Structure 1
Amino acid sequence: MKRKDFIQTIGAVGLATTVSGSLLAAPLTKKGKQIYFHYLLFWLKPSLTEQEIEDFKQFFEGLKKLPYVKNLRYGGPAASTPRPVMDNSFSYNASMEFDSLEDLEAYGKLPGHLALVAKYKPYFDRMMVHDSVYEVK
C-alpha cells in the first residue's frame, strides 16, 4: 500500500492505539460536534519546597478522576526559544477536555473539584483560566 493511501485509510477509520500488541480503532468524532477545552495556568509560590512542588502534581491527578473530564494533560513550560509572543512565566499548565458546556460548568461545581481547589490554592500565587470551544470539521 502506498504511504498516501495508508494515511488516508487510517484517517478514515480514526486513530489507532497499540494495546498489548493488539490494534484498536478509536471512535471517530462526529463532524459538527463541539468539544470544550478548559485551559489552566498556575504560578506557584517561589517559597515552595521541591517536595511541595512535587505534591502539587496531585492536584491534577485528582482532577483527572472527577466526572465529566474526558482528557487532562498537564506540565510545565517548555524550553522553547524566547520570542516576543511567548510567555513562559507560568509554573504549570493543564488542558482539560469536556463533551459540552454543561459538563464543563457542572464539573466546576462538583464538591470534589471545590475540595481540590481549596486544598491546593495555598500552593500558587496566581491562576488563569481560558475556556474555548472547538468544532470538529
Structure 2
Amino acid sequence: MERRKFIKNLAATAVTGSILTGTITETMASKKEKEVIAHYVLFWLKDDLTKQEVNDFTGFFEELKSIPNIKSLHYGPPANTHQRDVVDNSFSYNLLVYFDTMEDVDTYENHPIHLAAIDKYSKNWTKVVVHDSVIKM
C-alpha cells in the first residue's frame, strides 16, 4: 500500500515538475532583454561665465524635461573623482536622457522646445559632444 502511494506521488511530482519547468522555460524564452536609447551629452561652458550664469545654465535642462517621449532625464556637473589617465572631468555639465525608440530620439532632436532651448542657451557653451548608445536593460 505504501509503495502505491509513493509511486502515485512520484508520478504527480514528475508531471507537476515538468509543467512548472516548461512554464519557467517558456517565460524565460519569451522575456527578451529590453533596449533603450541613451542620449549622453557633455557641455563645456565658456570660461568667462559668472558662477550665477553657470548655475542658471541648468534652466536649459529643465526646459527639455517637457519634451514628449522622454523616458527619463538627468543632468549634473562632473563628479569629484580620483584623477586617472582615463578620467575626463573637463566638461561643465552632462545630460543623460533615455528614450524607448530611435523615433523618440528623432522627435526630441527636432522638437521646437529643444531647438528653442539650444537657441537660448548655446551662447553659453564652447563645445558640445553627443554620444547615443543602445543600452540593454
* TM-score (norm. length: structure 2): 0.75
Give the structure 1 partner of residue 99 of structure 2. 98
Give the structure 2 partner of residue 120 of structure 1. 121
Alignment of 1:1-137 (within 5 A): 31-136=32-137
- Aligned residues with identical type, % of pairs: 50
Which structure's residues are more often strand, by fraction?
Answer: 1
What secondary structure does 2:57 align onto? Answer: helix
Aligned length: 107
- Structure 1: gaps spanning 5 or more residues: 1-29
- Structure 2: gaps spanning 5 or more residues: 1-30
Q: Deviations over 1:5-28 (max 9, x none)?
A: xxxxxxxxxxxxxxxxxxxxxxxx
Greater gyration radius? 2
Instruction: For residue 51 of structure 1, report the CA deviation from its aligned partner.
Output: 1.6
Instruction: For residue 126 of structure 1, report the CA deviation from its aligned partner.
Output: 0.3
Q: Deviations over 1:32-54 (max 9, x none)?
A: 32100100000000111122111
Please tell me the root mean square deviation across aligned C-alpha atoms, in Å.
1.1
Structure 1 residue runs of 4 or more that deviate by more than 6 Å after TM superposition: none
* Letter in structure 1 aligned against 2:115: L
What secondary structure does 2:107 align onto? Answer: helix
Q: Quote the Cα distance in structure 1 between the aligned partners of 2:67 and 2:79.
A: 27
* TM-score (norm. length: structure 1): 0.75
Give the structure 2 partner of residue 13 of structure 1. none
Q: Quote the Cα distance in structure 1 between the aligned partners of 2:32 and 2:94.
A: 28
Which structure's residues are more often helix, by fraction?
Answer: 2
